[in-house]
Amino acid sequence: MKLLILGTRTFAPEIADVASEVPGVEIAGFVENMDRENCSGKLEGLPIHWIDDIAPLAATHLAVCALGTTQRSRFIEQATALGIRFATIVHPGARISRNSTVGEGSIICPGVIVATRTTIGRHVIVNRGALIGHHTTIGDYCSVMPGANIAGACTIGNATYVGMGAVVLDHHTVGSRSVIGAGSVVTRDVPDSVQVIGAPAKIVREQIEGR
């Protein structure tokens, strides 16, 4: 598999490193969509392609998006409009139950454990050492940061950001486009489009659009 990494910021080399350890994956280059001048150089010794120029690669390459923000949907939509298809990357150091599913474009990093009967949506990033319990649903475009622990029978809405070391207790729902602050403990349901922090987690901002 020849793989393009969408993004050129500091998280992009990390995702390239993770994907390079998946058998059969060859990192073919990176893709920029903000500053065309960045395409004049290389990243990790590999070419940087301008987004509008990648359509000819669609027949031979797959992609993943290396933006930690849940707003990566915009970059993904640009690439999709050019015919790019997306890979699903599961690092060999992760453990995914054979009874669980991981959607297209999602990235599962080393040390992640996903329990049984769980569904991880499309273009989700589950970062190092995160734990996801049984019978849980993670929506599209979510970011689950290092060491986060989402318990069993939870639902996390689309484009929600679960910060580093955050805990979501079992049988709770977190709405779409919300942010769970690092180290927070969610002990009750969280609505859409809010930021919560603390232990127990409390709403500190409303009317947000993820992170």
- Cβ(196)–Cβ(181) below 8 Å: yes
Comparing CA positions, the residue from 89, 31, 73 lying closest to residue 211 is 73
Label residue 6 left, alpha or beta by phi (over 0 means left) and psi (-120 to 50 means alpha).
beta
In a domain, 71, yes or no: yes
Which of the listed residues 50, 67, 86 is the one where a domain comes to its end? 86
Residue 160 CA to its chain's centroid (Å): 10
Do residues 106 and 189 both lie within one domain?
yes
Q: Are residues 130 and 74 in the same domain?
A: no
At 71 the pLDDT is 87
Last residue of a domain, one of 58, 86, 114: 86
Answer yes or no: is 93 within a domain: yes
Q: Are residues 82 and 181 in the same domain?
A: no
Domain that holds residue 44: 2-86
For tokens 């139950």, the residue is: 97
On whether residue 106 sits in a domain, the answer given is yes
Q: What is the CATH number of the domain that holds 198?
A: 2.160.10.10
Quick one: 23 and 111 in the same domain? Answer: no
Within this chain, do residues 64 and 101 fall inside the same structural domain, yes or no? no
Which residue type does 140 have?
D
DSSP reduced 3-state for 155: strand
Instruction: Please give the torsion angle defined by the CA atoms of residues 76, 18, 135 and 208, in that order, rounded to the nearest 10 degrees.
Output: -40
Is residue 96, in this structure, part of any structural domain at all?
Answer: yes
Model pLDDT, residue 210: 82
Per-position pLDDT tens, the chain of length 211:
999 999 999 999 999 999 999 999 999 999 999 999 999 999 999 999 999 999 999 999 999 999 999 889 999 999 999 999 999 999 999 999 999 999 999 999 999 999 999 999 999 999 999 999 999 999 999 999 999 999 999 999 999 999 999 999 999 999 999 999 999 999 999 999 999 999 999 999 999 988 8
Note whether 107 and 177 are same-domain residues. Answer: yes
Q: pTM for the whole thing?
A: 0.96
- State both tokens at 116: 């049984």
| Same domain assignment for residues 190 and 95 | yes
**Pick from 86, 112, 138: which residue ends a domain?**
86
Cα torsion 3, 16, 44, 69: sign:
positive
Same domain, 169 and 140: yes
Find all residues with CB under 8 Å of 17, minimum gap 6, and list them. Answer: none
Please indicate, yes or no, if residue 191 is contained in any of the structural domains.
yes
Considering the domain boundaries, does residue 9 fall inside one? yes
Q: Are residues 65 and 99 in the same domain?
A: no
Same domain, 104 and 192: yes
Domain count, the chain: 2
Same domain, 198 and 99: yes
For residues 73 and 96, state if they share a domain: no
The β-bridge relationship of strands 42-43 and 179-180 is unpaired
- Domain membership of residue 154 (yes or no) is yes
Nearest 10 degrees: Cα torsion 94, 20, 142, 60: -130
Residue 46: CATH number of its domain: 3.40.50.720
